[in-house]
Copies of this chain bind each other. A is one copy, B any other.
Amino acid sequence: MKMTPLVEQMVRHWGEMGARWGISRSVAQVHALLHFTARPVPADEIAETLGIARSNVSGCLKELQGWGVVRLVHLPGDRREHFESINDVWRLFEVLLDERKRREVDPTLKALRECSAQEEAAPKDSPETQRRLSEMLEFFEMMDAWYGEVRRMPIQSRVRLVKAANRIRSWLG
């Protein structure tokens, strides 16, 4: 399949960005291809279009399906499995943020809680070290609670929340 210039640019860009997002180049490229092509594509066509190994595509698709941002569809008259990207950009970034929080924030919160409990049971550090630990824990607890709140809002409310940033600003004083 020949990509249009737009799709090609997006594939290239997401591939580069993927590295910075902790997503492998191939996974990011496969996602970009599916998302901007906006129709179901079979795995071998993805491999051919992106010039990467068929087996690699297979792994990328597993990962993207695992995250729930790509789904498998069957097209009548074709034995092969086709794949398409979900078309909701809010849902897409929700998945990415959830994943990041799970990998980056949750383990740290756990570690901070454990350390804090230990320190409380038997203080062994300077007051300033203790203060920094509890400040750090408090920060993570606050962010965790906030994310939980926002996460529970329906998408519509989140859109309003984001769009209303300037109003909130004056409202908070």
Chain B residues, CB < 8 A from A119 = 6
> Could you tell me if B143 and A169 are in contact, using CB atoms closer than 8 angstroms?
no
Which of B13, B38, B129, B166 lies in contact with A6, CB distance below 8 A? B129
Q: Is the interface of A mostly helix, strand, loop or mixed?
A: helix
Question: Which of chain B's residues has its CB closest to A137's CB?
Answer: B89
Q: Is A128 an interface residue (CB 8 A)?
A: yes
Q: Give Cα distance in the complex from A125 to B4, angstroms.
A: 7
Known: A9-B111, A124-B6, A125-B7. A169 touches B142 (CB 8 A): no
- Chain B neighbourhood of A168, CB < 8 A: 161, 168
0 or 1 for each of A107-141: is its CB under 8 Å from B? (1 = yes): 11001001100110000111011011101100100
Question: How many monomers of this protein are in the complex?
Answer: 2
> Do A35 and B125 touch (CB < 8 A)?
no
* Cα–Cα distance between A159 and B138 once the two chains are bound (Å): 11
The reply to whether B22 and A20 contact each other, CB–CB distance below 8 Å, is yes
> At the interface, yes or no: A73 with Cβ under 8 Å from chain B?
no
Asked if A173 lies at the interface with its beta carbon under 8 angstroms from chain B, I say yes
Write out the residue numbers on chain B whose beta carbons fall within 8 Å of the beta carbon of A129. Answer: 4, 6-7, 36-38
A104 to B23: give the CA distance in the assembly, Å. Answer: 12
Q: Tell me the residues in window 25-53 of chain A with beta carbons closer than 8 Å to chain B beta carbons.
A: 35-39
Contact with B along A73-114 (1 / 0, CB 8 A): 000000000000001011001000000000110011001001
Q: How far is the CB of A159 from chain B (nearest CB, A)?
A: 8
Kindly specify which of A54-62, A63-71, A144-152 makes contact with the partner chain: A144-152
Interface pairs (8), CB distance under 8 Å: A9-B111, A10-B115, A13-B107, A20-B22, A38-B131, A142-B162, A146-B163, A150-B165
